[in-house]
């Protein structure tokens, strides 16, 4: 039997999974969860682990929910599978926005995607306006709605910025 190149990584992930289960997180490998943990840690939020709910909430008030979008430098944060039509499905899709007190777009470094570069806080009204604009112009019934850093800079406020020397 040959030596496993990946064993040290697998062992660390297994240890992380044990710690996560102690916090109530059953699937540490759930897509996006690690970045959500990084963002929540930086903003002082509590991660919500259910796939069909917001990404995080306030420690003081679990009904105060937050949605996180993230990308690497030069990319776009996305809301996947947003319905343009029918009307009922669109309303259901838009509830993914309106259930939240705030939205955040986190930009991670291209060369170190475990390190957050900047986080923008986005007002729900601005996110709704841009989402409706993109859905209205889409030729598909189901679309991805994306938000880039330029849009966030013009429509949000910086709530975290890494002070990494250049």
The predicted-structure confidence for 120-132, as pLDDT tens digits, reads as follows 999 999 999 999 9
* Tens digit of each residue's pLDDT, the chain (166 residues): 567 899 999 999 999 999 999 998 999 999 899 999 999 999 999 999 877 789 999 999 999 999 999 999 999 999 999 999 999 999 999 999 999 999 999 999 999 999 999 999 999 999 999 999 999 999 999 999 999 999 999 999 999 999 875 5
Whether 36 and 65 have beta carbons less than 8 Å apart is answered as: no
Question: Is the Cα dihedral 15, 19, 20, 26 positive or negative?
Answer: positive
Structure tokens given for 108: 């991670």
pLDDT score, position 49 = 86
Residue partners of 66: CB distance under 8 A and separation at least 6: 43, 45, 54, 55, 56, 57, 58, 100, 101, 102, 103, 104
Give CA angle at 70 (86, 161), nearest 5°. Answer: 140
Residue partners of 67: CB distance under 8 A and separation at least 6: 54, 55, 96, 97, 100, 102, 103, 104
161 - beta bridge partners?
118
pLDDT score, position 165 = 59
pLDDT score, position 166 = 55
Q: How far is CA 85 from its chain centroid?
A: 24
What is this structure's pTM? 0.91
């Amino acid at each position: 039997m040959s030596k496993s190149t990946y064993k040290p990584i697998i062992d660390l992930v297994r240890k992380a999974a044990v710690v996560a289960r102690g916090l109530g997180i059953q699937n540490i490998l759930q897509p996006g969860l690690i970045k959500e943990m990084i963002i929540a840690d930086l903003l002082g939020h509590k991660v919500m682990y259910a796939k069909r709910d917001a990404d995080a909430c306030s420690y003081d008030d679990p009904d105060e929910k937050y949605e996180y979008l993230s990308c690497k430098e030069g990319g776009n944060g996305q809301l996947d599978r947003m319905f343009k039509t029918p009307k009922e499905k669109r309303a259901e899709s838009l509830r993914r926005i309106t259930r939240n007190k705030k939205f955040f777009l986190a930009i991670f470094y291209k060369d170190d995607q475990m390190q957050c570069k900047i986080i923008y806080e986005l007002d729900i009204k601005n996110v709704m306006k841009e989402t409706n604009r993109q859905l209205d112009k889409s030729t598909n019934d189901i679309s991805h709605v994306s938000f880039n850093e330029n849009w966030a800079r013009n429509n949000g406020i910086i709530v975290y910025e890494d002070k990494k020397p250049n």
